[in-house]
């Protein structure tokens, strides 16, 4: 494997900025991904024609991971997708599994504070997705309890782990604002100790998403320690806040059920969108490959690793 973590080839040419955002990890979640049309506070419609980097010319593509085709055709979905009975059943099963696993691993107390509950009582379940874009000032005012640098922890209980979320970002300010406005309240209700890092490629060259994620991981570890790291696309939104953003002993594909694909896995081995790693696991596979320029490929390579 190439030295993806030890010396990212574009580390000198990229800038990292931190925002107040939120995060964490889970085994199974239902996600919403945006269509091309968004609205600002004045009701003005904004049409985004392409995914960032979609038209970039692939300069390098030397991975050994075989190409995969989508086995399930995309299903059309309303702006606010409707869960099926099976989806609701899966959500309930996940909560039962998560709470049982969480309680089995507890038993210690830290700094004299009681441990935070495995499943906090203030969760709402189904969460509506709003595509209205709030201003930065509105988002900041609504999340004024978040500390500078994008960090938040509950004041009256102690978590057993800290979570970092890494968001590779380029040319998607409207999505970023919607993401913050949607996810901040959810993660606070989940009582997660978290910090989110937004990693933006500073030069107008072909996008290297994997390199951004590797750099984000390295920067997070400098301000850590973090036990759980989640790599999260900016256009993926959690639809049920009972899916706790915490890591377990296994690598978790959090974005397995997405409205774009009818809440089904598009193909075997897909782990993109939102994926949670224990820090030690991400280091063991030496991070993402830096060999892909343009859009896609790094997730399939990670599946091989």
Average pLDDT over all residues of the chain? 71
> Is 234 within the bounds of a domain?
yes
Q: In this structure, is residue 255 part of a structural domain?
A: yes
- The predicted-structure confidence for 156-214, as pLDDT tens digits, reads as follows 898 888 999 999 888 889 999 999 888 889 999 999 999 989 888 877 778 788 888 89
Number of domains in the chain: 1
Residue 75 belongs to some domain of the structure: no
Q: Where are the beta strands (DSSP E) in the chain?
A: 15-18, 30-33, 37-40, 45-47, 132-133, 151-152, 163-169, 194-200, 228-232, 236-238, 252-253, 257-258, 274-278
Show the tokens assigned to 93.
Answer: 């099963």
> Residue 140 domain-assigned?
yes
Say which residue the tokens 């996810």 belong to: 183
Residue 6 in any domain: the answer is: no
Query: What DSSP letter does each residue of 127-193 carry, written as one string?
Result: -----EEPPHHHHHHHTTTSBTTTEE--SSSB-S--EEEEEEESS-HHHHHHHHHHHHHHHHHTT--
The neighbouring-strand residues paired with 228 are: 163, 278
Q: Is residue 236 part of a domain?
A: yes
- For residue 212, what is the enclosing H or E element? helix 209-223
Phi, psi of 297 (to 5 degrees): 105, -40
Q: Which has the minimum average pLDDT: 95-104, 131-140, 187-196, 292-301? A: 292-301
Q: Which domain holds residue 151?
A: 15-49+56-63+81-304
Report yes or no on whether pTM surpasses 0.85.
Answer: no
Residue 68 within any structural domain of the chain: no
Comparing CA positions, the residue from 70, 4, 72, 68 lying closest to residue 304 is 68
Q: Comparing 301 with 198, which gets the higher pLDDT?
A: 198
**Which 8-state DSSP code applies to residue 114?**
P
Here the CATH number for the domain that contains residue 109 is: 3.90.550.10
Q: Does residue 187 sit within a domain?
A: yes
Rounded Cα distance between 214 and 286, Å, is 9
Write down the residue that tokens 């005012």 correspond to. Answer: 141
According to the model, what pLDDT value does residue 131 have? 83
What is the per-residue pLDDT across 209-264, written as a single tens digit (0 to 9) for each?
A: 888 889 999 999 998 789 999 999 888 888 889 888 888 788 887 876 676 767 76
């Amino acid at each position: 494997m190439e030295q993806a973590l030890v010396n990212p080839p574009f580390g000198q040419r990229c800038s990292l900025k931190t925002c107040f955002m939120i995060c964490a990890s889970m085994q199974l979640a239902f996600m919403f991904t945006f269509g091309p049309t968004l609205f600002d506070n004045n009701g003005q419609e904004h049409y985004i024609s392409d995914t960032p980097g979609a038209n970039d010319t692939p300069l390098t593509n030397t991975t050994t991971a075989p190409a995969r085709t989508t086995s399930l055709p995309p299903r059309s979905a309303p702006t606010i997708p409707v869960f099926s009975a099976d989806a609701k059943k899966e959500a309930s099963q996940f909560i039962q599994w998560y709470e049982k696993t969480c309680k089995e691993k507890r038993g210690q107390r830290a700094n004299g504070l009681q441990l935070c509950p495995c499943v906090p009582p203030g969760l709402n379940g189904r969460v509506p997705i709003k595509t209205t874009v709030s201003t930065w000032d509105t988002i900041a005012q609504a999340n004024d309890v978040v500390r500078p640098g994008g960090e938040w922890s509950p004041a009256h209980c102690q978590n057993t782990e800290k979570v970092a979320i890494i968001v590779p970002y380029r040319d998607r300010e409207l999505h970023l604002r919607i993401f913050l406005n949607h996810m901040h309240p959810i993660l606070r209700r989940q009582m997660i100790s978290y910090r989110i890092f937004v990693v933006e490629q500073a030069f107008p060259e072909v996008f290297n998403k994997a390199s951004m994620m590797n750099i984000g991981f390295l920067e997070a570890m400098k301000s850590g320690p973090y036990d759980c790291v989640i790599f999260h696309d900016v256009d993926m939104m959690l639809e049920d806040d009972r899916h706790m953003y915490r890591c377990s002993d296994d690598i978790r594909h959090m974005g397995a059920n997405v409205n774009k694909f009818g809440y089904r896995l598009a193909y075997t081995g897909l782990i993109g969108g939102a994926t949670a790693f224990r820090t030690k696991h991400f280091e063991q596979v030496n991070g993402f490959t830096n060999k892909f320029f343009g859009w896609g490929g790094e997730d399939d390579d990670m599946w091989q690793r």
